[in-house]
Structure 1
């Protein structure tokens, strides 16, 4: 704690010094440009002639969008700015308190909703919700978020996944990973998308079949406002049980070249953007990062990996080429590699047992070409082709001592899980009239899986036995149709149908989706949603094999495993107390069925897999498991205004499952409750500089785990669990994070200095239970202790 207080004091002194010694720019008013795009919310078609005005009596500036829906407002003083966007026949949209910095033009994409032409009708006009989903088909359990929030919230570290854990219905259980647990579901139930392209796992150290990891490959410097769904999502999203993350990458600046340099949690970073040719609308956007955790380790701070140091790097880019008649072509790419070596030690950590040598690595590559063609102001067609590469590999060796008490490594496990996917997608959307919008789409995903996995722990002679050895092509075909009908300007109805087909076992699923939104008054709305959802198992599950003694060969026993399924019901209420203050409540019930379970391990369920660096391998799985999640999510939010914001979310929920034996247990994600409290304040210093302070506290039921049976483990020489108390142990979780920041706006560049104090109270949260083979006793492993994370960024 003494070390914490010393660092805390040092941070205050350092930031104060920056304020005192930084240049004073008050003598010269620094200005910048606001640029952006105004489009139809349902179709994405440009709206030429829209009015964009500054909401500031002292700054009566504005612009009118050109034929491409684009606008520019130049010579705007830096700082917080607000604009109003309007267009005849559309609802007005406000963008409040956007940060305009001197080193980078501010990009705003305004999506306007068309009004219904009605005569002699009293129109209930809702105040523009700042968190309204970008996808206008989403009527419930969806919200948009700004990329600024991924940095503003303490503890988020610029990671969208860590940021959304502050929202109601979402929690994390592991400080060392960014897994998203939605309403008691496994993080495996999350769908990731980038610019409409599905991404398997956009994280470093991401294992095959999982959706999270310790460090995100996603780069928030390249993203724009995006959507996050927590259930009952529209039919355009599928193959997911829990939720969806629909991220969007912004286009590069088409008018000037801009650059960014950054050092922070995600690494040393360099980025550039700009036009290929001045005066032509084609642009590029590229960013490269390399890990910095080696530096943090040398400073003496522990981030939960013991003596091991994670190594990673990534590259992200986007090229956008508009044409006069052939539509717009967009090329995106994202790739990352990571590696870590845990050498056996006397102390376990959040990732590794003290008696195991572990080598783990992963790789991800994605490239895609998207073509958008606008037939008219009422119809558009989007097609895309993409290629993806995903790989993870693991090497485990048990550290034992020989008769001479010398260390000896015994081979334990080897695996290499690689997949290559080629996908094609087509999506057509049209507005039939002001009341009806129709969409249809289909996609095909062809994947070559090359999996090898072998272990010695089931071998009588200590030799490796193959658990998986496969090289196979599989195909998933997905389709959807959706329709939105506006009865009037207050009541909207949505109906959709999603289907998917998996050729490995000829499984098909048809899934209806329904939702409704009633704008009861200017400030109140009620919503309802229902959806049937299904999800493939991780590919590695289908190819687990066992030896058939009668056939004298290995056979696949999981190839016929069906989709996991769920029915999701949600009822919501939203009340806008004031333009910047609102309260929201959602109650939900989710029934899960067709869940793979194991006869050999009757308390096992796939509902509990997906939050670590591997997917449990069991053969002969059967779709006889069930589960259910129910709860209430509450949100009280004050949006940023007059320099400060606040967010209070609370969720009370119950998550249960039944395995092969029919016994009901809490799932591994049944935290029971979670409360998040966040607040922040921003001081404007002189004319151009800002000092920021943000704090976050979270209290929850904590991570559940199954206790170890010490006697059976000692007898077997391997870990054995007490499955009669499956996921029965739990310790309360508490964490507080604090962030200080200082932003300096110069005449040509802006700088930002920040420090994020993670777990500032150094509270020891229990992570899990390990079995110590040296002492034949169990040990409680705690999560990440206090550590600081520094950030420096310059835009020019």
Structure 2
């Protein structure tokens, strides 16, 4: 290719990208897919109406709809269908340029009544959801974008929800999610049904928080937070389960956007790859290091992240999804032009970090006569390298206080089935995980102590571990629910069991038998009362499981018992209108088998809100704890 041809090709490419960013200044478009919430079957003939303007359409045989030539602005979208409860999406912001794509789930009317006029959220007294009838909160893309101070960071916005707090030890700038008194490590995250262990840059190994979220808000359709009464399909959760639902790519045309904020630049594109395949892709780059250099700050945080989703409609009943998310993080230091005590503290209080992580997964979903099944295969890796010295600007090996070189990888295979029959909803499934963990760790826990004459009184206390652990994790679950008493009472019960073949942990799944039950009763069209009880288990961090402990001249592994938590929750819900909701909940959580440091006597539940890693120390697992409180929430669409 000649230079002239290459120049023409590059100019054409730049022109196409710019046209994607500033496309169509006049009108906007909205498209989507309407499905049954329980069976995921597409709903043809559903009525879709957009207000204001009363512009509407109906879905085709595949449940798809599209509205074009819309004026940009904020709308309310109502979707209704025969034998289904209508659903309204408020505050739907539609802009020019990019077409908004939605997936809308409708819930079937279990009990048909004569002479009922359907309007709003409820047409008769009916219990709430069979799965997790309480302790549920939801966020939409617009909620995240509109949150003051959130800076389009999903993790930061989550911290503003009732019962959710941020990390105290690491400072208010961190995204440590602390729910109802639990540790940051007690939460699990699912992205389109694939577990994603890392959702923050500069993540604390063994915990999960970090100063900046990885997930791109442009990908997210909504976020569901369950802070109790977890569905039995989710393992390793003690405080919460987050379900992030991503949008599908636009099937009609290629589109994109470019976002520039005070800390980063991000580019997002989506569109069709073929007749039956769509994609979403994004890349984000921080420029904090340049900003901090201009401000003469000694720290240099730097990160990249990438996100991808493809959706292939193999046929009317089979869908194949691929997701990917990855991050590259670097935290280093530089000399300041003007040294101050504050700047020197900033240099020496944190380690230098080189970290990368990724999750990639593929799922195959097949619709059946009464439901569907899912088969998912995924792999995730965290590579964590960190160093800290007494003087990070002038590192001396004899003055090193922290060294971490660790990699943990999980290969996961999940299969689950959901069926609906005779008013029952039944789900069951199993999971197997192959874990590969390598760890080289050293930390000076206590500096050497000298007397007034400079004589050594006590040597430095250094803990170190050079280990690897490869083992298998496995588990299974069943969950069933049904509405009775003219649909006023919803009952749901589940059972889960988990185990692993690590020698210092538990291989018998019956030892981690995890029952849970919940009930919701509709007192009237506007009032519901709910309650739940459950026992939940979590495997300790890999850093703890693989740490070799020197006791009385012998080398033994840390204990690896599953951490146990018992939840009791009760609450009341009041729905005065279609758009307003009040909830009042009381909760009680009791912990046992919690790891406690043998070095300082502090529970690991109270660690993990700082950079580096936790669990790399000798522990005992006899910690106990309680958390209880009352939450009040008022939400308005």
TM-score bracket for this pair, using the shorter chain length: 0.7 to 0.9
Alignment of 1:230-379 (within 5 A): 230-264=227-261, 267-277=264-274, 280-298=275-293, 300=295, 306-324=297-315, 327-342=318-333, 347-348=341-342, 355=348, 358-376=351-369, 378-379=370-371
Tell me if structure 2 keeps the 8 A contact 1:126–1:523.
no
How many residues are paired up? 591
Q: Determine if the alignment matches structure 1 residue 594 to structure 2 residue 588.
A: no
Give the match's secondary structure for 1:297. Answer: helix
Q: Cα distance, 1:281 vs. partner?
A: 2.9
Q: Tell me the residue number matched to 1:450.
A: 438
Tell me if structure 1 keeps the 8 A contact 2:26–2:96.
yes
Q: Tell me the residue number matched to 1:201.
A: 198
Q: Tell me the residue number matched to 1:557.
A: 557
Tell me if structure 2 keeps the 8 A contact 1:357–1:398.
no
Q: Tell me the residue number matched to 1:748.
A: none
Q: Tell me the residue number matched to 1:68.
A: 62
Give the match's secondary structure for 1:276. Answer: strand
Q: Tell me the residue number matched to 1:221.
A: 218
Tell me if structure 2 keeps the 8 A contact 1:36–1:70.
yes
Q: Cα distance, 1:89 vs. partner?
A: 1.3
Q: Determine if the alignment matches structure 1 residue 182 to structure 2 residue 179.
A: yes
Distance across 1 between alignment mates of 2:220 and 2:137 = 16
Q: Determine if the alignment matches structure 1 residue 34 to structure 2 residue 33.
A: no
Give the match's secondary structure for 1:148. Answer: helix
Q: Determine if the alignment matches structure 1 residue 210 to structure 2 residue 210.
A: no
- Taking structure 1 as the reference length, the TM-score comes to 0.69
- CA deviation map 1:592-619 (0-9, x unaligned): 1111224553x32122122222344465
Which residue of 57, 73, 89 corresponds with 1:95?
89
Give the match's secondary structure for 2:326. Answer: strand
CA gap 1:150/1:442 in 2 versus in 1, 3 angstroms? same
Distance across 2 between alignment mates of 1:532 and 1:217 = 31
- CA deviation map 1:375-430 (0-9, x unaligned): 22x2211111111111111111113999xxx9997222211120121111111101
- CA deviation map 1:217-274 (0-9, x unaligned): 1111111112111222221222011111111221110011111111125621112111
Q: Determine if the alignment matches structure 1 residue 413 to structure 2 residue 388.
A: no
Q: Cα distance, 1:356 vs. partner?
A: 5.8
Distance across 1 between alignment mates of 2:71 and 2:428 = 44
Q: CA RMSD in A?
A: 3.1
Alignment of 1:480-629 (within 5 A): 480-487=477-484, 488-504=486-502, 505-507=505-507, 508=509, 509-547=512-550, 550-551=553-554, 555-558=555-558, 560-601=559-600, 603-617=601-615, 619-629=617-627
Q: Cα distance, 1:458 vs. partner?
A: 6.5
Distance across 2 between alignment mates of 1:424 and 1:633 = 37
Distance across 2 between alignment mates of 1:472 and 1:489 = 50
Tell me if structure 2 keeps the 8 A contact 1:343–1:356.
no
Q: Tell me the residue number matched to 2:385.
A: 393
Distance across 2 between alignment mates of 1:561 and 1:121 = 60
CA gap 1:444/1:467 in 2 versus in 1, 3 angstroms? same
Give the match's secondary structure for 1:103. Answer: coil
- CA deviation map 1:351-382 (0-9, x unaligned): 96654673112211111111111122x22111
Tell me if structure 2 keeps the 8 A contact 1:134–1:227.
no
Q: Tell me the residue number matched to 2:15.
A: none
Q: Tell me the residue number matched to 1:715.
A: none
CA gap 1:390/1:79 in 2 versus in 1, 3 angstroms? same
Which residue of 412, 417, 428 corresponds with 1:440?
428
Q: Cα distance, 1:562 vs. partner?
A: 0.6
Q: Cα distance, 1:299 vs. partner?
A: 5.4
CA gap 1:375/1:597 in 2 versus in 1, 3 angstroms? same
Give the match's secondary structure for 1:294. Answer: helix
Tell me if structure 2 keeps the 8 A contact 1:134–1:226.
no
Unaligned segments of structure 1, at least 5 residues:
1-27, 640-796
Unaligned segments of structure 2, at least 5 residues:
1-23, 449-455
Q: Determine if the alignment matches structure 1 residue 52 to structure 2 residue 59.
A: no
Give the match's secondary structure for 1:392. Answer: strand
Q: Tell me the residue number matched to 2:13.
A: none
Q: Tell me the residue number matched to 2:5.
A: none
Q: Tell me the residue number matched to 2:152.
A: 158
Distance across 2 between alignment mates of 1:51 and 1:355 = 61
Tell me if structure 2 keeps the 8 A contact 1:80–1:97.
yes
Q: Tell me the residue number matched to 1:477.
A: 474
Tell me if structure 2 keeps the 8 A contact 1:178–1:214.
yes
Distance across 2 between alignment mates of 1:617 and 1:491 = 44
- CA deviation map 1:501-550 (0-9, x unaligned): 12212243111111112222222221112111111111001122233564
Give the match's secondary structure for 1:88. Answer: coil
Q: Which range is displaced more, 289-298 or 582-591? A: 289-298
Tell me if structure 1 keeps the 8 A contact 2:179–2:227.
yes
CA gap 1:276/1:203 in 2 versus in 1, 3 angstroms? same
Distance across 2 between alignment mates of 1:84 and 1:326 = 26
CA gap 1:68/1:326 in 2 versus in 1, 3 angstroms? closer
CA gap 1:251/1:410 in 2 versus in 1, 3 angstroms? same
- Taking structure 2 as the reference length, the TM-score comes to 0.86
